[in-house]
């Protein structure tokens, strides 16, 4: 068994291993979807690692590299081991080899997400130093089952396309921090994959929303605090879903104790499908 960087491994081989690991997962990925996911999450092949048996990739950790809470961070985009090699501690071995390399590359911490029901994985992560920092829910509902109220007729409200350049100055509207795959960097990694709609009153932007066209994933939805509870978020939501090609709408990684988001999503019949822990470990 050899553990090494994935720097020179073809994406086709990564996709084959990824598909084999997650073949029983509730959803599947085409290779273009897989590559888009890696791009969105700032995948860095040089700082990702895998275990090889006779030249075959049998276990892997695909890492994204970027900033989180103003610290250079490695993010576990995907970790998995094919069935016949599970139970051998390969994921832990990969992490132990990766950690000093990530630290040498300037990463100060390692971030991951794990299903709250995956007790075995949570136990392993805690043993190697990870701590839970928050619980986040993911919501999915078919578009045909949504409860929608078109509020675009609100007096003075104008909805129109905006560019990414609008967004960085609007993080003052955030009540919670976007997760790794929903932050500004994730959007800039592939702006062609997203539709961004701004809400304006008297030519002043008072809200915006972002949807990933292919997946129906609403990545960000934010309203100026002085203009909340006026139907602007609902108007943006209705407008955004016009642009997706997906049969369902997804809102991924919403803090489970953030009640305004929970109430808003429930009002649209967007159901909680599951929850994850965000976990972090210092590499200092």
Q: What is the DSSP string of 108-143?
A: -EEEEEEETT-HHHHHHHHHTT-EEEEEEEEEEEEG
Q: For residue 80, what is the enclosing H or E element?
A: strand 71-81
What average pLDDT does this structure show over 188-197?
93
Residues 62 and 144 in one domain: no
Residues 154 and 236 in one domain: yes
pLDDT digits (tens, 9 = 90+) for 86-102: 989 999 999 999 999 99
Domain-embedded: residue 117: no
Residues 92 and 147 in one domain: no
What proportion of the chain, given as a percentage, has pLDDT over 70?
98
What average pLDDT does this structure show over 107-121?
93
Q: Are strands 109-115 and 71-81 parallel, antiparallel or unpaired?
A: parallel
| Cβ-Cβ contacts under 8 Å for 17 (sequence gap 6 or more) | 50, 57, 58, 60, 80, 82
| Residue 152 in this model has a pLDDT that exceeds 60 | no
Instruction: Calculate the CA dihedral of residues 273, 19, 216, 68 and round it to 10 degrees.
Output: 80
Domain-embedded: residue 282: no
What average pLDDT does this structure show over 168-188?
89
What's the predicted TM-score (pTM) here? Answer: 0.89
Residues 88 and 36 in one domain: yes
Residues 89 and 47 in one domain: yes
Domain ranges, residue 79: 2-107
Residues 76 and 161 in one domain: no
- How many domains would you assign to the chain? 2
Residues 167 and 248 in one domain: yes
| Residue 153 in this model has a pLDDT that exceeds 70 | no
Residues 268 and 201 in one domain: yes
Identify whether the C-beta of residue 269 lies closer than 8 Å to the C-beta of residue 145. yes
Domain harbouring 59, CATH code: 3.40.630.30
* Confidence (pLDDT) at 24: 78
């Amino acid at each position: 068994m050899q553990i090494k960087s994935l720097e020179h491994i073809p994406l086709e081989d990564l996709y084959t291993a990824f598909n084999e690991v997650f073949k029983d997962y509730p959803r599947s990925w085409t290779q273009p979807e897989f590559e888009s996911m890696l791009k969105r999450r700032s995948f860095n092949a040089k700082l990702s690692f895998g275990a090889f048996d006779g030249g075959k990739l049998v276990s892997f950790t695909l890492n994204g590299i970027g900033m989180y809470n103003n610290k250079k961070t490695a993010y576990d985009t995907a970790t998995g081991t094919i069935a016949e090699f599970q139970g051998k501690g390969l994921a832990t071995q990969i992490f132990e080899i990766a950690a000093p390399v990530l630290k040498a590359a300037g990463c100060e911490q390692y971030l991951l997400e794990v299903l709250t029901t995956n007790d075995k994985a949570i136990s392993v992560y805690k043993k190697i130093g990870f701590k839970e920092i928050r619980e986040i829910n993911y919501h999915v509902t078919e578009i045909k089952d949504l409860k929608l109220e078109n509020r675009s007729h609100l007096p003075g409200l104008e909805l129109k396309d905006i560019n990414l350049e609008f967004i960085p100055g609007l993080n003052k509207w955030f009540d919670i921090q976007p997760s790794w795959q929903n932050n500004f960097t994730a959007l800039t990694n592939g702006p062609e994959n997203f539709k961004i709609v701004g809400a304006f009153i008297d030519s002043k932007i008072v809200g915006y929303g972002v949807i990933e066209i292919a997946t129906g994933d609403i990545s960000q939805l934010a309203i100026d605090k002085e203009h909340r509870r006026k139907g602007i978020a609902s108007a943006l939501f209705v407008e955004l879903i016009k642009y997706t090609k997906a049969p369902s709408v997804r809102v991924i990684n919403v803090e489970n104790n953030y009640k305004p988001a929970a109430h808003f999503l429930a009002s649209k019949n967007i159901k909680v499908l599951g929850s994850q822990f965000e976990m972090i470990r210092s590499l200092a």
